[in-house]
Amino acid sequence: MEGIFSVKSDTYSFGVLVLELISGSKISSPHLTMDFPNLIARAWSLWKDGNAEDFVDSIILESYPISEFLLCIHAGLLCVQEDPSARPFMSSVVAMLENETTARPTPKQPAYFVPRNYMAEGTRQDANKSVNSMSLTTLQGR
């Protein structure tokens, strides 16, 4: 994303909301592992690996058929695609969610996606450390 607001920005936000509801986690939940730096990366990785059902919150998993959850994940991933022009219009998302037979394009890589193992192994041990510096200026009169 390039900081440009458009109609597709709302579509992106809707996709994030859908993914948060299905997973039961926030977009930047602290319990995500280093393999998944954010919720979108986790959803995308599981989707690509064919394990999207693992993304569904276990509390709601038994409430509805898995096909409905997979449909919501699919719609959510379409809404958060990196290219705003590839994101569907909200009318298409509504049609997709109302009718399981509506044609659904394959989602492309989402915005802000960081691939699995995005940090080199050697730097992981230092990931919880930060280096801070400060400079002081002392003003003195002449």
Q: Is 124 within a domain?
A: no
Q: Is 37 within a domain?
A: yes
Q: Is 129 within a domain?
A: no
Question: Across all residues in the chain, what is the average pLDDT?
Answer: 81
Are the beta carbons of 56 and 85 closer than 8 angstroms?
no
Of 36, 111, 29, 100, nearest to 78 by C-alpha is 111
Name the band, by pLDDT with cuts 50, 70 and 90, for residue 27: confident
- Tell me the C-alpha distance between 77 and 112, whole Å: 12
Q: Is 68 within a domain?
A: yes
- At 141 the pLDDT is 75
pLDDT, tens digit (0-9, with 9 covering 90-100), for 65-90? 999 999 999 999 999 999 989 999 99
Q: Is 22 within a domain?
A: yes
Q: How many domains does the chain have?
A: 1
Q: What is the pTM of this model?
A: 0.72
Q: Is 82 within a domain?
A: yes
**Mean pLDDT for the stretch of residues 90-111:** 88
CATH no. for residue 101?
A: 1.10.510.10
Q: 29 lies in which domain range?
A: 7-114
Q: Is 127 within a domain?
A: no
- At 115 the pLDDT is 53
Q: Is 134 within a domain?
A: no
pLDDT higher than threshold 50 for residue 120: no
